[in-house]
Amino acid sequence: MPSEHEQLIDLAWYTMPFGQHQGKYLSDLPEAYYVWFRRQGFPKGKLGRYMQTVYDMKVNGIEGLLRDIRRQTTR
């Protein structure tokens, strides 16, 4: 199982796999998109867990951390 550090790096680089925001980093999706998913239910699996995490980060104003991680790492 990946460490929390490795999971955070993976989250920073994770992109939306479908829809109008396909290919965009989760941290770059608009907050309104997350609010809609919060009401409707996040997808199952890894994507849903990651979206819930990014939603929580946006609510707390710390999603910029994910952009900082992308600047400091490579994929």
How does residue 31 score in pLDDT terms, banded at 50, 70 and 90?
very high
What confidence tens digit (pLDDT) does each residue in 11-30 have? 999 999 999 999 999 999 99
Length of the chain: 75
Domain that holds residue 50: 4-17+26-72
Question: Based on the structure, what is the number of domains in the chain?
Answer: 1
Query: What is the rounded CA–CA span in Å between residue 45 and residue 30?
Result: 21
Residue with tokens 């790096």: 9
| Phi then psi dihedrals of residue 23, to 5 deg | 90, -10
Does the pTM surpass 0.85? The reply is yes
Exposed/middle/buried for residue 36 (C-beta within 10 Å: 0-12, 13-18, 19+) = exposed
